[in-house]
Amino acid sequence: MELWLYERPIFSEDQGWSYRIKIKKTLEDFKTPFQQLAVYESVEFGKVLTLDGVVQLTEHDEPHYHEMITHVPMMAHPNPEKILVIGGGDGGVIREVLKHPSVKEVHFAEIDEAVVTTCLKHFPNISCGLSDPRVIHRYTDGCAYTQQFENYFDVVIVDSTDPVGPAEVLFRESFFVDIKKAMKPEGIFVNQAENFAYKTHFETVKKLFEFLPNLFPNRGYYYTIVPTYPAGIIAFTFLSKGTDPYNFDIGNKSVPEGLRYYSPEMHKASFTLPRYAADAFATSNK
């Protein structure tokens, strides 16, 4: 008998699409206090982590995501020392952050401890940085955690689930106000911000860019290709009070070794959007 994992949109009412991944077997499937967590062995993509039925990562294409959500802000900042990672319970962002020698402390605010323990068990190559002594673990809502800080972080990365359930608060204007306060003047913020290609995702991003110009003078939107995400695309907002995302100069910084997807050329190219998205989102390169 063939086994297929079907992903359906969880924040779209019309349920107008779905895609599927062929699986060999189910390794985990249980309810945490926050969400339904499952791990599968797939035919094509290695192990797959899902939360509430939505693919979070596969072993095959996770570098496309983790390298781009991380190295774009880390390379754009001249000296990132204090980092906040919200979500990202698989540890992929933290693994990439720690490749930058300037890093002194990484605050890791993940709401669901079960994601972390499951990824330590099934994805040791992704979660390998979580035991680094620079990582400060907090099992808490990232929104509440951010409120404790003022003028503190150089780089903030939100690696969250979609804007439903526990991650809904991370797409509210009040959260971005708190983030702005928690960042240093040269600080850079990026978050997982859906894609431009699907209608419901596009509308979510458009809503963000309605209030972001009131908060951040420098705003970009960039994307990466992840074959196992909806539309094969996932994008990120890039927000800063000081750094212009469209004037990227690597200066004398060196790119971490052994990367698979990120390069300075890819960094620059990833901010070039299809015309309709460039027209619709209030980025700062107008």
The nearer residue to ligand SAM, 195 or 240, going by C-beta atoms, is: 195
> Which pairing describes strands 153-159 and 183-192: parallel, antiparallel, or unpaired?
parallel
Q: Does 194 interact with ligand SAM (rule: CB under 6 A)?
A: no
Letters for 38-77 (x = contact with ligand SAM by CB under 6 A, - = none) are -------------x----xx-------x------------
C-alpha span between 216 and 242 (Å, rounded) = 9
Question: Closest distance between ligand SAM and the C-beta of residue 251, in Å?
Answer: 29
* Rama region for 72: left / alpha / beta (φ>0; ψ in -120 to 50; rest): alpha
End-to-end CA distance of the chain: 54
Judged by CB, which is closer to ligand SAM: 259, or 264? 259
Determine whether 159 is an active site residue: yes
Q: What residues contact residue 32 under an 8 Å CB cut-off, 6+ apart?
A: 112, 114, 115
Q: Which of 159, 162, 249, 279 is catalytic?
A: 159
What whole-number distance in Å separates Cα of residue 35 and Cα of residue 240? 32
User: Binding of ligand SAM at residue 170 (CB under 6 A)?
Assistant: yes
Q: Which helix (H) or strand (E) holds 78?
A: none
Closest separation between CB of residue 109 and ligand SAM, Å?
5
Q: Which residues are catalytic?
A: 159
Chain residues in the site for ligand SAM (CB under 6 A) = 34, 51, 56-57, 65, 86-90, 109-112, 115, 141-143, 159-161, 166-167, 169-170, 192
